[in-house]
């Protein structure tokens, strides 16, 4: 880091002496300085993090920020955003200040960095005065590489003054989409962050997010005051996540089947809309032998912290949560994210599903979706707070989400298109519509039947009813309610016996999704929209999605509990026992130290160790995820696990030999 400064000074001295063209020398010096910081960045990557090469845009981002430039970075979850600011923080002189919205995770983030030998700390409201003072002193003394702060801290004059007393190398604004007022995670405190650029114009700032439509992207740039920033946009594709959206009939049972068939023993997140359904679903899973805990804003802080901590520390725990859970969770081995209710926007859906598979190993984003979701969300928007403009926004967010649910095209292509990106092909091969193509059918006549029933009720009777009654009328059912209102006298009574009840509900759902009908009021009564007339007037066709009889899933051969684990880490059969031995050792370490297992080593690192079976520290040091500090802390212990395991194997092999020769000898005789 100091090399840069020295080179600059040398150039100036030489230039002032007039011994060489000053400009040329300066340019050469700048180039060599840039070269120097580049190799410094690479050295840091290998020494601290144990990785050999940068991924995707990382190198470009890091070079730019190390050189003092501002950056806006859009990179999907798991893409490697952290290194984009951690390395500049380590390479540039001073402390990197990271603004992050979730104080509950700061301790874990700091623990993970310390495990790598990085001098990290945080200041937030969970600390007592003494603890805070200690970190502040370390910062002022220049003894911290990285300091985490919550955005609300930066509203306090005291915090700004503190920062002035030390040296800040870079400001990193994580989860930068929180500044977007119309976004799903808006945090007013983020609006105050523009002050950083005004007060520290020479300190580079880097804003990072894993979700941004073009509109959010613009808001980030404007509101954080980053007009000069260079923009880096990685592909938002998460190829290891399999996207699936299934028709909802009995969601809890469907979830259980999904977990049993594909994710036995895996860690995952289940999202529900209401606190009540969170509680009920968690209980249901527990009762059925799936370890699960609830998480929502109605639980007290202690319980929430405990459940989050268990999720991070234990293997194979399921968290059932409202959207209050998950942002910033950097657990790498979340194997599935399930939605039992429809998310409010595609951005929210992408953000939530993105929490699966940060380690790049196969994972599933699974959702159950039905008519009731559409009715409920439309009702929520109508009865919710906010002005007309707010409602219009919410409705267009919902429409995009519904379009994703109802699409007969590749889900991934549609998701990427929403973020203004193109998929690499028409079909990804790893979403439900690619795996089992849904059929479409011409639903024009069915749509007309539903809509004319709505029209009849309204024109002839001045009545509005919900979907249930309309389906009963179409099916010609003489229910008590049908009799009560004389609905069997309507000319449309019984005109729909060509479809089943479920199929009619599907028709109504798709009409709602396509904006060809709408719901109204407390009871969600069905009403026409402006677009309904085009259907009734035969001006347009209505194409509908037919649910595949057998929804797509992973092939049966991959579905056993053990098979799934093996498939997730993709190991040959013979490497599995040693992998499991390493995992057991890691679990002990994690328990002893009270840190999550992935803070010790990621699955991906254990996998490499199990595959290459290093014989000594030098060989071990070559593997990804083994920086200086981890090698020093755990190197010997890992070699011992391998040696013990090897002896055990040799022992078993001997026994096998003797027993098999014993078994063979009688027949051989
Ligand atoms: P994000 O914050 O974008 O979700 P992370 O920074 O947590 O992603 O990185 C995701 C995973 O990828 C982590 O396990 C990290 O250690 C790993 N990773 C990041 N960059 C590299 C790299 N250059 N080489 C190898 N692994 C990397
Ligand atoms: Zn696809």
The answer to whether residue 204 is domain-embedded is yes
For residue 235 and ligand 1, the question of a CB distance below 6 A is answered with: no
- What is the average pLDDT across 320-324? 90
For residue 354 and ligand 1, the question of a CB distance below 6 A is answered with: no
Across 251-298, where does the E strand assignment appear? 268-271, 292-295
Provide the number of structural domains found in the chain: 5
pLDDT > 70? residue 112? yes
For residue 360 and ligand 1, the question of a CB distance below 6 A is answered with: no
* Residues 354 and 461 both lie in one domain: no
Nearest CA to ligand 1 atom 2: 81
Ligand nearest to the CA of 105: 1
CATH code at position 494: 1.10.10.10
Across 273-394, where does the E strand assignment appear? 292-295, 318-321, 336-339, 363-369
Which residue from 82, 333, 597, 624 has its CB within 8 A of the most atoms of ligand 1, so it is best to mutate? 82
For residue 13, the model assigns a pLDDT of: 34
Nearest CA to ligand 1 atom 14: 359
* Residues 522 and 577 both lie in one domain: no
pLDDT > 80? residue 31? no
For residue 578 and ligand 1, the question of a CB distance below 6 A is answered with: no
For residue 327 and ligand 1, the question of a CB distance below 6 A is answered with: no
Give the Å distance between the CA of 436 and the centre of ligand 2. 10
* Residues 418 and 456 both lie in one domain: no
Among residues 433, 451, 473, which one ends one of the domains?
433
For residue 649, the model assigns a pLDDT of: 73
Strand partners, 442: 543
pLDDT > 80? residue 440? yes
3-state secondary structure (DSSP) of residue 555: coil
For residue 392, the model assigns a pLDDT of: 83
pLDDT > 60? residue 15? no
Surface-to-core class of residue 522, CB atoms within 10 Å of its CB (0-12 exposed, 13-18 middle, 19+ buried): exposed
Tell me which residue has tokens 């008519």.
Answer: 371
pLDDT tens digits, one per residue of 49-101: 999 999 989 999 999 999 999 999 999 988 899 999 999 999 999 999 999 98
pLDDT > 50? residue 560? no
Backbone angles phi, psi at 97, to 5 degrees: -100, 120
Q: Place 397 in a pLDDT band, splitting at 50, 70 and 90.
A: confident
Ligand nearest to the CA of 239: 2
For residue 380, the model assigns a pLDDT of: 86
Ligand nearest to the CA of 330: 1
Ligand nearest to the CA of 424: 2
Owning domain of residue 41: 1-49
Task: Work out the percent of the chain whose per-residue pLDDT is above 70.
Answer: 89
Query: How many beta carbons lie within 10 A of that of residue 103, not counting itself?
Result: 19
Q: Could you give the CA distance from residue 623 to residue 614 in angstroms, rounded to a whole number?
A: 9
* Residues 399 and 309 both lie in one domain: yes
Ligand nearest to the CA of 601: 1
Which of 176, 170, 196 is closest to 74 using CA atoms?
Answer: 176
The answer to whether residue 367 is domain-embedded is yes
For residue 219, the model assigns a pLDDT of: 92
For residue 56 and ligand 1, the question of a CB distance below 6 A is answered with: no
CATH code at position 318: 3.40.50.300
Q: Could you give the CA distance from residue 309 to residue 321 in angstroms, rounded to a whole number?
A: 14
* Residues 218 and 100 both lie in one domain: yes
For residue 550, the model assigns a pLDDT of: 56
Which of 519, 494, 497 is closest to 508 using CA atoms?
Answer: 519
CATH code at position 631: 1.10.150.80
The answer to whether residue 74 is domain-embedded is yes
Give the Å distance between the CA of 403 and the centre of ligand 2. 15
- What is the average pLDDT across 25-44? 77
For residue 332 and ligand 1, the question of a CB distance below 6 A is answered with: yes
Strands 168-173 and 205-209: parallel
Residues in the chain: 669
The answer to whether residue 550 is domain-embedded is no
For residue 77 and ligand 1, the question of a CB distance below 6 A is answered with: yes
CA of 604, closest atom in ligand 1: 14
* Residues 81 and 140 both lie in one domain: yes
* Residues 118 and 85 both lie in one domain: yes
Q: Place 25 in a pLDDT band, splitting at 50, 70 and 90.
A: low
pLDDT > 80? residue 469? yes
Which of 530, 396, 272, 102 is closest to 292 using CA atoms?
Answer: 272
Give the Å distance between the CA of 115 and the centre of ligand 2. 39
Ligand nearest to the CA of 82: 1
Tell me which residue has tokens 């068939």.
Answer: 261
The answer to whether residue 112 is domain-embedded is yes
For residue 55 and ligand 1, the question of a CB distance below 6 A is answered with: yes
Query: How many beta carbons lie within 10 A of that of residue 431, not counting itself?
Result: 23
- Kindly report the average pLDDT of the chain as a whole number: 87
Q: Place 17 in a pLDDT band, splitting at 50, 70 and 90.
A: very low
Instruction: Evaluate whether 324 touches 256 at the Cβ level (below 8 Å).
Output: no
For residue 304, the model assigns a pLDDT of: 93
* Residues 20 and 96 both lie in one domain: no
Give the Å distance between the CA of 241 and the centre of ligand 2. 11
For residue 82 and ligand 1, the question of a CB distance below 6 A is answered with: yes
For residue 569, the model assigns a pLDDT of: 67
For residue 659, the model assigns a pLDDT of: 43
* Residues 134 and 85 both lie in one domain: yes
Give the Å distance between the CA of 78 and the centre of ligand 1. 6
* Residues 360 and 379 both lie in one domain: yes
For residue 358 and ligand 1, the question of a CB distance below 6 A is answered with: yes
Q: Could you give the CA distance from residue 414 to residue 410 in angstroms, rounded to a whole number?
A: 6
For residue 238 and ligand 1, the question of a CB distance below 6 A is answered with: no
The answer to whether residue 521 is domain-embedded is yes
CA of 45, closest atom in ligand 1: 23
pLDDT > 90? residue 421? no
Give the Å distance between the CA of 82 and the centre of ligand 1. 7
For residue 355 and ligand 1, the question of a CB distance below 6 A is answered with: no
* Residues 267 and 381 both lie in one domain: yes
Among residues 433, 450, 470, which one ends one of the domains?
433
The answer to whether residue 564 is domain-embedded is no
Among residues 401, 433, 465, which one ends one of the domains?
433
* Residues 228 and 250 both lie in one domain: no
pLDDT tens digits, one per residue of 636-666: 999 999 999 887 777 665 554 444 433 333 3
The answer to whether residue 581 is domain-embedded is yes
For residue 75 and ligand 1, the question of a CB distance below 6 A is answered with: yes
pLDDT > 60? residue 238? yes
Confirm whether pTM is higher than 0.85: no
Give the Å distance between the CA of 430 and the centre of ligand 2. 5
């Amino acid at each position: 880091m100091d090399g840069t400064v020295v080179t600059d000074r040398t150039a100036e001295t030489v230039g002032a002496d007039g011994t060489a063209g000053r400009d040329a020398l300066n340019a050469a010096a700048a180039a060599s300085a840039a070269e120097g910081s580049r190799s410094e960045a690479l050295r840091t990557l290998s020494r601290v993090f144990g990785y050999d090469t940068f991924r995707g845009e990382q190198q470009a981002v890091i070079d730019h920020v190390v050189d003092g430039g501002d950056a806006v970075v859009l990179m999907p979850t798991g893409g490697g955003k952290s290194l984009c600011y951690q390395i500049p923080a380590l390479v540039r002189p001073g402390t990197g200040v990271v603004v992050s919205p979730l104080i509950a995770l700061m301790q874990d983030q700091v623990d993970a960095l310390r495990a790598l030998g990085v001098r990290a700390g945080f200041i937030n409201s969970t600390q007592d005065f003494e603890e805070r003072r200690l970190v502040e002193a370390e910062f002022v003394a220049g003894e911290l590489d990285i300091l985490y702060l919550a955005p609300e801290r930066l509203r306090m004059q005291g915090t700004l003054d503190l920062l002035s007393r030390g040296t800040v190398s870079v400001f990193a604004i994580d989860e930068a989409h929180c500044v977007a007022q119309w976004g799903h995670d808006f945090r007013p405190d983020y609006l105050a962050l523009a002050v950083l650029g005004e007060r520290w114009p020479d300190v580079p700032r880097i804003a990072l997010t894993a979700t941004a439509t073009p509109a959010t992207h613009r808001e980030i740039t404007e509101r954080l005051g980053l007009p000069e920033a260079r923009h880096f946009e990685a592909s938002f594709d998460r190829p290891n996540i399999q996207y699936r959206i299934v028709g909802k009939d009995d969601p809890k049972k469907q979830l259980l089947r999904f977990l049993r068939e594909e994710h036995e023993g895996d860690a995952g997140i289940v999202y529900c809309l209401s606190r009540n359904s969170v509680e009920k679903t968690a209980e249901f899973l527990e009762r059925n032998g799936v370890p699960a805990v609830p998480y929502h804003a109605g639980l007290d802080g202690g319980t929430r912290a405990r459940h989050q901590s268990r999720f991070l520390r234990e293997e194979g725990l399921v968290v059932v949560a409202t959207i209050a859970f998950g942002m910033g969770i950097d657990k790498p081995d979340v194997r599935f994210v399930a939605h039992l209710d429809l998310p409010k926007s595609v951005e929210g859906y992408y953000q939530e599903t993105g929490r699966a598979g940060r380690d790049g190993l196969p994972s599933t984003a699974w959702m159950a979706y039905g008519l009731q979701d559409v009715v409920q969300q439309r009702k929520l928007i109508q009865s919710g707070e906010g002005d007309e403009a707010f409602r219009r926004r919410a409705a267009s967010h919902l429409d995009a989400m519904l379009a994703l649910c109802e699409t007969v095209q590749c889900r991934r292509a549609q998701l990427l298109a929403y973020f203004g990106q193109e998929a690499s092909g028409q079909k990804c091969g790893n979403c439900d519509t690619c795996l089992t193509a849904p059929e479409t059918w011409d639903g024009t006549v069915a749509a007309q039947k539903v809509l004319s029933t709505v029209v009849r009720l309204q024109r002839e009777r001045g009545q509005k009813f919900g979907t249930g009654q309309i389906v009963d009328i179409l099916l010609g059912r003489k229910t008590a309610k049908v009799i009560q209102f004389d609905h069997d006298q309507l000319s449309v009574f019984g005109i729909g016996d060509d479809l089943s009840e479920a199929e009619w509900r599907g028709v109504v759902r798709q009409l709602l999704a396509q904006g060809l009908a709408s719901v109204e009021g407390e009871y969600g009564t069905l009403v026409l929209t402006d677009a309904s007339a085009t259907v009734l007037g035969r001006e347009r066709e209505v194409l509908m999605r037919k649910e595949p009889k057998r929804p797509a899933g992973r092939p049966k051969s991959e579905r056993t509990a053990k098979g799934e684990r093996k498939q997730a880490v993709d190991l040959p059969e013979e490497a599995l026992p040693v992998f499991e031995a390493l995992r057991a050792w890691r679990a002990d370490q994690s328990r002893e130290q009270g840190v999550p297992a992935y803070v010790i080593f990621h699955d991906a690192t254990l996998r490499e160790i199990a595959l290459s079976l290093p014989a000594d520290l030098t060989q071990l040091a070559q593997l990804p995820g083994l920086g200086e500090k981890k090698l020093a802390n755990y190197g010997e212990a890992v070699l011992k696990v391998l040696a013990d395991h090897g002896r055990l194997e040799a022992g078993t092999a001997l026994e096998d030999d003797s027993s098999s020769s014993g078994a063979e000898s009688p027949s051989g005789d």
